[in-house]
Amino acid sequence: MKLLASLTSPYARKIRILLAEKSLPFELVVDSPWEANTRVPEVNPLGKVPALVLDSGEVFFDSPVVAGYLETLNTGPALLPAGGIERVRVRQTEALADGILDAAVVAFLESKRPPEQQSAVTIERQLDKIRRCLDELEKRASGREWLSGKTIQLDDISVGVALGYLDLRLPQTDWQTGRPALVALSKRLFARPSFADTVPPAG
Ligand SMILES: N[C@@H](CCC(=O)N[C@@H](CS)C(=O)NCC(=O)O)C(=O)O
């Protein structure tokens, strides 16, 4: 299978980390959907990465969908509970982490507009969302080694990716201060080869 991804996309990083944790072989096709010569729209009408192209030609996109697909392969460690409310809870935390990414992308893109076109209200609204999500995640991480399982799962990976993206794009959010459980979780995550090998390039 082939993964279309840009090296800075946090959603794509989540999938690259899942693939690494499961030791699933894949071909990484680096393609930025922002470039004029991108081929991403040929496989994903949304024009977004990540997009996973199977050997059969079938394509899965939107990182939660791709994550769910990888779990069906039953290869390597399970990163989602098999079913029930436990699975829903992991996916809820994934949605919180992905929501941080959505808000961070909006805030970052807004901050890149010419100063006279930027909306401080838009940026602050997104930063508020990020702060609220971080506080909720701090509660969920408190007193635990991993967010919900006995070992690393999709919720941990999604949160680690979101924290890494804040470090890259919005370091002023200072997510570490007052959130010791997230700091401890991030240290466990960032030390793993799957995270270390997918650190986004600066810029
Ligand atoms: N909900 C999607 C979000 C994917 C996404 O927004 N990817 C960005 C890269 S970080 C993208 O491809 N943007 C291109 C565009 O919006 O045109 C997911 O989880 O996969």
Q: What pLDDT is recorded for position 20?
A: 98
pLDDT band at residue 182, thresholds of 50, 70 and 90? Answer: very high
CATH code of domain 2-72: 3.40.30.10
Q: For tokens 């946090």, name the residue.
A: 10
- Token pair of 11, please? 């959603």
- Report which protein residue has its CA nearest ligand 1's atom 1: 62
- Report which protein residue has its CA nearest ligand 1's atom 10: 9
Ligand 1 pocket, CB under 6 A: 9, 11, 33, 47-50, 62-63, 98
Ligand 1 atom closest to residue 12's alpha carbon, by position in its atom list:
20
In angstroms, what is the span from residue 10 Cα to ligand 1's centroid?
9
How far is Cα 73 from Cα 203, in angstroms, rounded to an integer?
35
CB atoms within 10 A of CB 191: 9
In angstroms, what is the span from residue 61 Cα to ligand 1's centroid?
10
Q: Which amino acid is at 178?
A: G
Instruction: Tell me, rounded to whole angstroms, the distance of Cα 149 from its chain centroid.
Output: 18
- For the segment 118-167, what is each residue's pLDDT rounded down to a tens digit? 999 999 999 999 999 999 999 999 999 999 999 999 999 999 999 999 99
- Report which protein residue has its CA nearest ligand 1's atom 16: 48
In angstroms, what is the span from residue 167 Cα to ligand 1's centroid?
19
pLDDT band at residue 203, thresholds of 50, 70 and 90? Answer: low
Judge whether 9 and 34 are in contact, CB under 8 Å.
no
In angstroms, what is the span from residue 11 Cα to ligand 1's centroid?
7
In angstroms, what is the span from residue 144 Cα to ligand 1's centroid?
31
Ligand 1 atom closest to residue 48's alpha carbon, by position in its atom list:
12
Most ligand 1 atoms within 8 A of CB, residue of 15, 48, 106, 165 to mutate: 48
pLDDT band at residue 171, thresholds of 50, 70 and 90? Answer: very high
Q: Report the CATH architecture of 84-192.
A: Up-down Bundle (1.20)
How far is Cα 100 from Cα 79, in angstroms, rounded to an integer?
21
Domains of the chain: which residue ranges?
2-72, 84-192
Q: What pLDDT is recorded for position 54?
A: 98
- For the segment 16-71, what is each residue's pLDDT rounded down to a tens digit? 999 999 999 999 999 999 999 999 999 999 999 999 999 999 999 999 999 999 99
How would you list the strands of the sheet with 51-53, edge to edge? 27-30, 2-5, 51-53, 59-61
The answer to whether residue 191 scores a pLDDT higher than 70 is: yes
The answer to whether residue 105 scores a pLDDT higher than 80 is: yes
